[in-house]
């Protein structure tokens, strides 16, 4: 049977809606990070600042504008006659200032080095965005997984309520056991409500970084990021830490301070100023010709007493450079300590997760089933059944938490390795090509 155009149109719209809903629900970690990196307006602002600094560098390398001087000199006040006196002149002067040594070129280089910090600042910003988005995404996934677990385990507590009521009716249990079973079910509902609240809040936090609405988008599967380098490869780890944006920013500061020292040393060289003046004289009233005048002068700075000016400024520039070197050593120690702590945390979490997976969860499940069978046969007290069910549920929740803590530890380690992160490098190149 041939479908009408209206039916075909409605079918297409419905399929598009279903497909878009499915895509929206597929909130992967990589897609969230890429969208957050693209949506960051700070990076665009920083790029414009870099362009402004480079324009300023070009302007700073130019000589000062020459100065033009026009003057009417030695005009007699008794007659205001231009050709009455021999010294009456119409003067035209031009002067040009020449700064000390290579100070202009060094200043341009220094300002360009300042502009070179901006790409590093953007890389550092991207590393922080990736860290924050990843942590928020993992927390959202953890809450949604724990919420799903609680909803799937409700039947156990409903079963406890049913068994306790049956035992109470048959005289095998007391009234407080029924009340206790109902109380445990109420507590479970409360925990579900709290997790639903956490999911909504974390979706709102994630929305701060994303362009598309995340209100109905939930992480589908946990994608624990791989480490960017092997933990046991100490040389690769140290090299990656040295390439961290924070380390590179401090290294860039040291280069800027080096240029500051060179600029301070240029102050020992003289500066020059050249003046050229042309004086026009009119012929005398008797008709005698009078020659015009040309004057040329060179003014030179003489840094003859540098102890309290040039020496002190050079010493200040050197101390600023040495201060930046000390900061680089401090930052290297902080990064190394941070990645070692994160790696130790990661190793401990992985060991704990293996314990849960090997035996702990299985043992708790067997205990809960045995206690439930015993209580159904009136051979155990209700608090034993409730305790075993709650212990198993808490362990399952903890197992989910451990899995996500491992993912967060991986994210934290990778932040320290941001200098060799291909995703950040690719995102930065794409942003600057726009």
The model's pTM is 0.82
Please count the other Cβ atoms lying within 10 Å of the Cβ belonging to residue 204: 12
Measured N-to-C along each axis, helices 41-60 and 117-152 cross at an angle, to the nearest 10 degrees, of 170
**pLDDT (tens place) for every residue of the chain, 434 residues total:** 444 544 444 444 444 443 333 334 567 888 889 989 988 889 999 999 999 999 999 999 999 999 999 999 888 888 888 888 888 899 999 999 999 989 999 999 999 999 999 999 999 999 999 999 999 999 999 999 999 999 998 887 888 788 778 777 777 667 777 788 788 888 889 999 999 999 999 988 888 888 766 545 566 677 777 888 887 788 888 999 999 999 999 999 999 999 999 999 999 999 999 999 999 988 777 778 888 899 999 999 888 888 888 899 999 999 999 999 999 999 999 999 999 999 999 999 999 999 998 889 888 888 888 887 886 776 767 777 778 888 888 899 999 999 999 999 999 999 999 999 898 888 888 877 76
Whose CA is closest to 144, among 199, 189, 187, 190?
A: 199
Residues 6+ apart with CB under 8 A from 93: 68, 69, 70, 71, 275, 276, 277, 278
Q: Identify whether the C-beta of residue 73 lies closer than 8 Å to the C-beta of residue 88.
A: yes
How far is it, in rounded angstroms, from Cα 11 to Cα 16? 9
């Amino acid at each position: 049977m041939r479908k009408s155009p209206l039916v075909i149109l409605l079918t297409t719209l419905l399929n598009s809606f279903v497909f878009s809903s499915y895509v929206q629900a597929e909130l992967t970690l990589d897609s969230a990070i890429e969208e957050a990196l693209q949506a960051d307006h700070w990076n665009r602002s920083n790029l414009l600042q870099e362009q402004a600094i480079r324009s300023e560098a070009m302007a700073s390398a130019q000589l000062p504008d020459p100065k033009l001087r026009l003057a009417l000199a030695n005009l007699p006040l008794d007659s205001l006659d231009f050709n009455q006196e021999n010294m009456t002149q119409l003067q035209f002067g031009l002067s040009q200032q020449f700064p000390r040594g290579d100070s202009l070129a060094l200043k341009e280089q220094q300002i360009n080095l300042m502009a070179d910090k901006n790409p590093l600042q953007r890389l550092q910003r991207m590393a922080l965005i990736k860290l924050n988005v990843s942590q928020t995404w993992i927390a959202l996934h953890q809450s949604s997984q724990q919420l799903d677990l609680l909803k799937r385990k409700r039947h156990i507590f409903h079963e406890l309520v049913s068994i306790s009521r049956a035992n109470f009716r048959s005289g095998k249990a007391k009234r407080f056991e029924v009340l206790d079973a109902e109380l445990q079910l109420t507590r479970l509902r409360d925990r579900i409500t709290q997790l639903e609240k956490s999911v909504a809040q974390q979706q709102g936090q994630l929305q701060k970084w994303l362009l598309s609405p995340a209100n109905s988008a939930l992480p589908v599967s946990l994608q624990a990021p791989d480490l960017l380098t092997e933990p046991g490869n100490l040389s690769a780890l140290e090299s990656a830490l040295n390439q961290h944006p924070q380390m590179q920013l401090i290294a860039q500061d040291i280069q800027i301070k080096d240029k500051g020292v060179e600029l301070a040393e240029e102050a020992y060289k003289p500066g020059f100023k050249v003046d050229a003046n042309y004086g026009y004289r009119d012929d005398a009233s008797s008709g005698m010709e009078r020659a015009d005048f040309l004057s040329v002068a060179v003014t030179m700075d003489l840094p003859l007493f540098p102890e309290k000016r040039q020496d002190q400024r050079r010493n200040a520039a050197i101390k600023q450079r040495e201060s930046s070197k000390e900061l680089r050593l401090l930052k290297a120690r902080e990064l190394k300590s941070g990645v070692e702590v994160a790696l130790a945390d990661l190793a401990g979490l992985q060991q704990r997760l293996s314990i849960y997976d090997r035996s702990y969860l299985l043992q708790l499940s067997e205990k809960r089933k045995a206690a439930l069978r015993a209580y159904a046969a009136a051979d155990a007290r209700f608090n034993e059944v409730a305790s075993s069910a709650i212990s198993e549920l808490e362990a399952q929740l903890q197992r989910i938490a451990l899995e996500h803590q491992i993912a967060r530890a991986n994210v934290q380690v990778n932040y320290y390795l941001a200098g060799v992160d291909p995703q950040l490098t690719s995102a930065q190149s794409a942003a600057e090509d726009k």
